[in-house]
Amino acid sequence: MKGRITRRAFLKEAGLLTAAAALPLGLVNVAWGKKPTDRFTFAYISDCHITQIRGTEFVANFDKGLQRAVLELSFLDPQPDFVVFGGDLAQLGKVAELEHGLEMLKGVTLPIKWVIGEHDYYLDLGEYWQKHISPLHYSFDHKGVHFVVLNSILTDDDWTHNRWPTAEERMHQMARLDNPHGSPFMVKREQLAWLKQDLAKIPRTTPLIVLSHSPLYKIFKPWNFWTDDAEAVQAQLKQFRSVKVFHGHVHQVLYNQLGPITFNAFMATAWPWPYPVTYSQLPNKVPELTVFMNRADPFKERDGTGWGSVQVADGLVHHYELWENSPRTVRSPGAGKRPEDTVYQDPAKRIPPQTHY
């Protein structure tokens, strides 16, 4: 098929050389700091959804996605400065799933910056994660860039604490799409106050990268491609000259620009989601500019997972290398300007919808 991944081109773009097999792994190259020595790269792995069948038996395909990402990472030369894990390590938040995922991630020798996903959270409300993995929200500085990690998958207290007879039932309810008994994701007041305090310490011209699990804007509520108080987060971020938000959760090519904030999704290692509009008549807010990821064969789960390499300077270029599908490049020129797919933005040039067979 046209556009099959060319590994060499991807690595060249990312400024990296290696000799391993192909993989779902994101790379972000940041050339945003004041000095050339401020350039750095970090890797991004997300949405592995490690699923326990019983005992020590796990869904092999999801294990393989994560294992391959870890292997790929180990071959990168030079090594990135750190790795971001974008959330949804587990499928149902079980200790067995988290620990099996962590065991596979032991192959990563770089520091990992952790973002929690809803599949990691709603069984024990982040207890294991905080004890053994990471705080749920925090910030750090790296070579002139301020990073903020948000826990964007909280929801209202009544739903969380009073609605369900067991923790397992709560987790199952949050894991469902199109769930009339679901509840939207939120950052919530306490974290918003923390964010305000954190950002107050840095000049408004500081390059800012925000890492969240769900997109910090609103796309489609029935699937929780949605953060209910996104506007309150955006209001704080908009005070900065330029902000990049990277997220997981949506398992698809997705991007947006709201004022100075550029949003980009990374691909999952587990499976791709379709776009809500292809499955539902309900209203959705998928950004108008989005060129949908064409799924040549929707029954082939690797068609729609893939790599991304991102070049961050004042603007941003996100190059998606999709497994057995056409590569895509999206340019985001920066504040107030629309991101554009460099090849497929013109509707006449888009790949026609696939034939199901």
Binding site for Fe ion (CB under 5 A): 47, 88, 117-118, 249
Is the CB of 94 or the CB of 249 nearer to Fe ion? 249
Q: How many CB atoms lie within 10 A of CB 155?
A: 19
Show the DSSP H helices in the chain as ranges: 7-14, 60-75, 95-105, 118-121, 127-128, 157-162, 167-175, 189-200, 230-237
Per-residue tokens: 146:
């301020």
Q: State the Cα–Cα distance between residues 356 and 208, nearest whole angstrom.
A: 43
**Residue 38 has what DSSP assignment?**
G
Q: How far is the CB of 219 from Fe ion (least distance, A)?
A: 13
Q: How far is the CB of 151 from Fe ion (least distance, A)?
A: 12
Q: Determine the angle formed by the axes of helices 60-75 and 95-105, rounding to 10 degrees.
A: 30
Q: State the Cα–Cα distance between residues 334 and 58, nearest whole angstrom.
A: 43
Q: How far is the CB of 118 from Fe ion (least distance, A)?
A: 5
Number of helices (H), then strands (E), in the chain: 9, 16
CA distances from 168 to 49, 125, 160, 329 (A): 16, 11, 12, 41
Is the CB of 14 or the CB of 90 nearer to Fe ion? 90
Is the CB of 121 or the CB of 240 nearer to Fe ion? 121
Q: How far is the CB of 248 from Fe ion (least distance, A)?
A: 6
Q: How far is the CB of 119 from Fe ion (least distance, A)?
A: 6
Q: How far is the CB of 30 from Fe ion (least distance, A)?
A: 25
Is the CB of 118 or the CB of 341 nearer to Fe ion? 118
Is the CB of 63 or the CB of 88 nearer to Fe ion? 88
Is the CB of 63 or the CB of 118 nearer to Fe ion? 118
